[in-house]
Amino acid sequence: KMLRVTSISHLDVEAIVNYNSFENLVHYYSEMSAMGDRYPPEFNLFDDDESSAHNATSWGRIANVSIPFAVIQALDDPLVGWRTVGTNDPQALADSGSGNVFLLLTKAGGHVGWPLGANPKKYGWKWMNDAAQSFIFAVDKATRE
């Protein structure tokens, strides 16, 4: 069945949902995403007025982040668009986690790892690794001060 999928969500159903005891795609996304308990009305994912009203004023579990949390997303990601961060207002997302959510949107980077140069094999995914390392070192330094 996986060879016949025609979308990312269909692939998620066939490769993840069915093999990991999730009830359905929404259950998988809600359990595995930091923003999974929030369905912003601007994305029209559900026709449920009650959940839309609640989510318009609530950031859900992302607002309860109690440790520094970095969200790094490339604007040119062909599979997972930047709006999957859960809002059309990135600053509002960054402000939601009591100062612990850090959002970095890069102009380019593609889908996996911000490969460098014409031959990614040569440099690997150095940018992504360096970004993660810099974030970890900065958090460590800040907690020691």
pLDDT digits (tens, 9 = 90+) for 87-130: 777 787 778 777 888 888 888 887 777 777 777 778 777 888 89
Query: If you average pLDDT over every residue of the chain, what do you get?
Result: 77
pLDDT, average across residues 51-63: 59
CA distance 144 to 142: 5
pLDDT, average across residues 3-8: 79
**Region of poorest pLDDT, from 7-21, 49-63, 88-102:** 49-63
Please, which pLDDT band fits residue 42 given cuts at 50, 70 and 90?
very low
Is 62:101 a contact under the CB 8 Å cutoff? yes
Given a cut of 60, is residue 41 above it in pLDDT?
no
pLDDT reported for residue 58: 66
CA distance 62 to 125: 27
Given a cut of 90, is residue 140 above it in pLDDT?
yes
pTM: 0.64
